Amino acid sequence: MGLDRLIGFDAQLLSEAFWTAINIFILFAGLSYLLFNPVREVLEKRRQKIAGELAEAADDKKNAAAMKAEYEAKLKDVSKEADAILEEARRKAKARETEIVEEAKAEAARIIERAGREVELEKKKALDDMKQEIISIASLMAGKVVAASIDTTIQNTLIDETLKEMGESTWQS
């Protein structure tokens, strides 16, 4: 006759418990080795990987922020430097402008002075030439008049008088 029962507190209960205990031990060892530990290991590795990547990303972000600040500071400095260079260039250009204007004024003054001197010399030369012309013409005319109307004595007297009237300063100027 086979076993046919619903519940009983006897040796059969312990037999059931014994076989169940073996099942549970085998399952515990088998599932721990095959399933739980490998899955947990995978999750732990992934967790560490993600944590590492997040830390790396945070570091990169921090470095990028530092670099950005540095570049912005540099850009600000560059702007200031450019302003300073432009200012210096303007100042130098202004100074050069003034210098050039001064030089031009001086040159102009020198040119004007030289031109004035040349004009004076030309004027003096022209006066001398005129005097020479006048003397020549006068001599010629006088010679002709004398030759035509007066004798040699009168002629000499006239020449002397003429020369006296013109004076020595006339010839020297």
Partner 1 sequence: MGMMKIPMVVHEPDFMIHGVLKYEAFGQELWITDTTVGAWIITAVLLLIGFIANRKIKAAADNGIPGAFQNALEMGMEALENMAQGILGGNARKFVNYIGTIFLFILFCNLSGLFGLRAPTADFGVTFLLGMFTFFIVNYQGLKNRGVGHFTSLFQPIPILFPINLIGEVANPISISLRLFANLLSGVIIMGLWYGMMPWFVKIGIPAALHVYCDLFSGCIQTYVFCMLTMVYINDKME
Residues that bind partner 1 (CB under 8 A): 2-7, 11-17, 19-21, 23-24, 26-28, 30-32, 34-40, 42-43
Q: How far is the CB of 50 from partner 1 (least distance, A)?
A: 13
Closer by beta carbon to partner 1, 40 or else 144: 40
Q: How far is the CB of 24 from partner 1 (least distance, A)?
A: 7
Q: How far is the CB of 62 from partner 1 (least distance, A)?
A: 29
Closer by beta carbon to partner 1, 5 or else 164: 5
CA distances from 94 to 81, 90, 101, 107 (A): 19, 6, 10, 19
DSSP track, 94-124: HHHHHHHHHHHHHHHHHHHHHHHHHHHHHHH
Tell me the three-class secondary structure of 28-50, residue by residue. HHHHHHHHHHHHHHHHHHHHHHH
Closer by beta carbon to partner 1, 14 or else 115: 14
